[in-house]
Amino acid sequence: MDHFSSRHDGLYAEDVPLRRIADAVGTPLYIYSAATLRRHYDILADEFKNRDALIAFAVKALSNIAVLALLGRRGAGADIVSGGELYRALKAGIPAERVVFSGVAKSRGEMEAALNAGILQFNVESEAELAHLSAVASALGKTAPVALRVNPDVDAGTDTRISTGRKDDKFGVPFADAGRLYRLAAALPGLRPQGLTVHIGSQITSVAPFERAAARVGGLVTSLRAEGHEVTHLDLGGGLGIPYERAAAAPPLPVDYAATLNRATADLNVRLILEPGRLIAGNAGLFVTRIVLTKNQEGTHYALVDGAMNDLIRPALYGARHEVMEDTPPTGVPVHHHIAGPVCESTDLFAKDVPLHEVSAGALLAFRTAGAYGAVQASQYNTRPLVPEVLVDGDRFTVIRRRPTYEEMLSLEVIPDDF
């Protein structure tokens, strides 16, 4: 569900006309609905209200500090994968004790920053990382709380580019090595192993893979405890899919996902950690662009827009499809158009054969389900400024990241004096 709608006079984000925002801020831009973000977080949190559980929002999905602050005030933690994301989470007011540090190649500087901040947990993904973290923590005179990320060899049935839980993926430690490495973590100085973590992929459209992964890691919790180890935390990652197109089969509901995980872990007596990103943010965002001009290329109609693949790269990177909405109420017979941007790449193509009713210059188009992995993956390719981000709350909107000027874009570059 989202809070974007088509009314008699055009598209709305909550109670604000998209046209008003686009005219004030310029296009292209991202628009987020505060009501949708709150609702999606609350629905999931409510399903775990009777458990000791932390919803650690995956910052990589949507990292704007205004969004992080909104979720943090509702009790969310942060799942981070870099020192920059740690800085963002703390800047947004999320307490360090609600921060989980994931990722396969944390640098010494990142480890030091997280240790000094006092984060909840490091999700460690290799034997080499255990040794590295032990050395860094010992040098600082600190103890790092550790969860060992186990690769359960579960195929989530999602796109291979976003699958993370198969045995040949780069993530986690082999399941057969988990016991040995947990014992090693307990023996190394500066480390305090406290749990296990698992993550099998993203945009997963069935609860069955989650159930298999939870069962595998749950059995490991039991066997480690039988050896005398403390296992108090179980991080089950994220990855539940969301609907990108209304005509597509709907993924399981968050309540079904939660019921599966609650059932699989009911007898483990652990603190649960979940890392949803797309589930909370995906449907909460639109990417909005204007038609610049149209052309007929040997019978193929193109609507050329001011947004480009550097602003929303998912279609070019993953072949992702986003439903397109027109701001102008539909009249007459639609004409199918390819929607493409101005970047000099053949992959700068958002969608093919989209039925459009209004294709005149200046008409607004909105790409749904763009809240996750949209703005965070944007770049300044072709020296195109990063697009603004706008947060709508009821009948108000705020620019939460403005468009930089060219001067600001070039401010980090220098021409040597003796060049």
- Domains, the chain, in order of start with CATH, read 4-31+283-410 (2.40.37.10), 103-274 (3.20.20.10)
Q: Which residue carries 């550097």 as its tokens?
A: 310
> Per residue in 299-345, pLDDT tens?
999 999 999 999 999 999 989 999 999 998 888 899 999 999 999 99
- Closest by alpha carbon to 403, among 370, 383, 264, 85? 383
Instruction: Indicate the annotated binding residues.
Output: 239, 275-278, 314, 318, 345, 373
Q: CB within 8 A of 310, min separation 6: which ones?
A: 343, 378, 379, 380, 381, 382, 384
| Residues facing residue 340 across a β-bridge | 304, 349
How deeply is 249 buried, as exposed, middle or buried, from its count of CB atoms within 10 A (0-12, 13-18, 19+)? exposed
Predicted confidence band at 166 (pLDDT cuts at 50, 70, 90)?
A: very low
DSSP string computed for 48-79? TTTS-EEEEEEGGG---HHHHHHHHHTT-EEE
CA–CA distance, 387 with 313 (Å, rounded to integer): 13
Q: How is residue 309 annotated by DSSP?
A: T
* Catalytic residue selected from 226, 249, 344, 414: 344
pTM of the full structure: 0.94
Predicted confidence band at 42 (pLDDT cuts at 50, 70, 90)?
A: very high
The pLDDT value given to residue 203: 86
Predicted confidence band at 159 (pLDDT cuts at 50, 70, 90)?
A: low
Predicted confidence band at 385 (pLDDT cuts at 50, 70, 90)?
A: very high
- The mean per-residue pLDDT over the stretch 361-387 comes to 97
pLDDT of 164 above 70: no
- The mean per-residue pLDDT over the stretch 88-112 comes to 97
Instruction: Indicate the annotated binding residues for pyridoxal 5'-phosphate.
Output: 239, 275-278, 373
Report the percent of the chain where pLDDT is more than 90. Answer: 86
CA–CA distance, 28 with 367 (Å, rounded to integer): 11
Q: How is residue 30 annotated by DSSP?
A: E
Helix (H) / strand (E) element for 16: namely strand 16-17
Backbone angles phi, psi at 287, to 5 degrees: -105, 120
Catalytic residue list contains 339: no
- Closest by alpha carbon to 128, among 188, 198, 85? 188
pLDDT of 161 above 70: no
Mean pLDDT of the chain: 93
- The mean per-residue pLDDT over the stretch 229-255 comes to 88
Instruction: Indicate the annotated binding residues for substrate.
Output: 278, 314, 318, 345, 373
Predicted confidence band at 163 (pLDDT cuts at 50, 70, 90)?
A: very low
pLDDT of 397 above 80: yes
Is the four-CA dihedral 123, 129, 130, 136 of positive or negative sign?
Answer: negative
- The half-sphere exposure of 366 on its side-chain side, counting CA atoms within 13 A, is 26
CA–CA distance, 287 with 289 (Å, rounded to integer): 7
